[in-house]
């Protein structure tokens, strides 16, 4: 199975920003853009993403015919690819995925995913799937505890380019399954490596906070949160936290 081309930089402001620039200039990809260091890396909701040398920072730019609502499910595809990378480096069972796509190791965050998109003149959608993985180091001054692969490996963690080769191959395999069979097998695979299902959960939405039990995914990828009164709330966007996350 072939994977998209990989274009590597020593330093860049943000791999997602570069993907957006190229997309808005008409480039369709598919291409992985990676850098040894980002000077202005970004996470979800505009948060800064620290990406020093030794960690993986990469963005896949490609074009899809999918409607925007369906295309957003690529976030789960990316999460599975990161989980596969964790298994390849750390062994099975250590890395778990917190809704929708954070890789957790013993309740600490080891990666982040940022998906951005936009319309093209031909009616198609461009996607920039940004992935950051703490391979060698992790940030200390963050809201929730973080970690790096290196803590859990007896050998040195993989170099970012080697990690990207594993990640890109896994991503392409899951993307092909998603394209052929729809979201159901992606949701099933995600559930197998999910962190926190069946446990108390706090969902912080833009204007309110809800507490309940995380039950699982709806068919479109929304998180089902069972509230104390027995009703089920669909979480489609927001931050979710568990007792150890």
Percentage with pLDDT > 70 across the chain: 94
Residue 180 has pLDDT above 60, yes or no: yes
**Which pLDDT score, from 0 to 100, does residue 139 have?**
87
Give the torsion through C-alpha atoms of 226, 228, 231, 232, to 10 deg.
-20
pLDDT tens, 141-166?
777 799 999 999 999 999 999 999 99
- Asked if residue 203 lies in contact with residue 105, where contact means CB atoms within 8 angstroms, the answer is no
Question: Whole-angstrom Cα distance, residue 111 to residue 56?
Answer: 9
Instruction: Using DSSP, state whether 13 is helix, strand or coil.
Output: coil
Domain boundaries, the chain: 5-192, 200-242
pLDDT tens, 25-67?
999 999 999 999 988 766 554 555 556 789 999 999 999 999 9
Percentage with pLDDT > 90 across the chain: 84
User: How is residue 200 written in tokens?
Assistant: 């108390």
27 secondary structure, DSSP code: -
Domain with residues 5-192, CATH architecture: 2-Layer Sandwich (3.30)
**Which pLDDT score, from 0 to 100, does residue 40 have?**
79
Average pLDDT, the chain: 92
User: How is residue 95 written in tokens?
Assistant: 């890395």
Question: Whole-angstrom Cα distance, residue 36 to residue 12?
Answer: 8
Domains 5-192 and 200-242 share a fold: no
Lookup result for tokens 């198609």: 124
Confidence of residue 225 (pLDDT cuts 50, 70, 90): very high
> Measuring CA to CA, how many Å separate 106 from each of 99, 207, 223?
15, 30, 21
- Asked if residue 171 lies in contact with residue 78, where contact means CB atoms within 8 angstroms, the answer is yes
CATH code for the structural domain at 200-242: 2.30.30.100
């Amino acid at each position: 199975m072939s994977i998209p081309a990989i274009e590597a930089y020593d330093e860049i402001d943000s791999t997602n920003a570069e993907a957006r620039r190229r997309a808005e200039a008409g480039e369709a990809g598919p291409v992985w853009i990676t850098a040894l260091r980002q000077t202005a890396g970004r996470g979800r909701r505009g948060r800064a993403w620290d990406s020093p040398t030794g960690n993986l920072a990469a963005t896949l730019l490609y074009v899809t015919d999918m409607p925007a609502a369906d295309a957003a499910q690529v976030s789960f595809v990316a999460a599975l690819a990161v989980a596969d990378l964790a298994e390849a480096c750390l062994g099975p069972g250590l890395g778990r995925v917190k809704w929708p796509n954070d890789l957790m190791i013993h309740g600490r965050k080891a990666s982040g995913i940022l998906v951005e998109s936009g319309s093209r003149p031909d009616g198609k959608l461009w996607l920039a799937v940004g992935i950051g993985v703490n391979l060698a180091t992790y940030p200390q001054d963050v809201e929730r505890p973080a970690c790096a692969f290196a803590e859990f490996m007896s050998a040195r963690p993989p170099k970012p380019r080697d990690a990207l080769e594993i990640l890109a191959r896994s991503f392409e395999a899951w993307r092909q399954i998603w394209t052929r069979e729809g979201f159901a097998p992606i949701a099933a695979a995600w559930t197998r490596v999910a962190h926190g299902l069946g446990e108390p959960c706090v969902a912080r939405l833009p204007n309110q906070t809800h507490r309940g039990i995380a039950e699982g995914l709806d068919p479109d990828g929304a998180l089902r949160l069972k509230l104390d009164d027995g009703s089920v709330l669909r979480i489609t966007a927001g931050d979710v936290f568990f007792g150890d996350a």
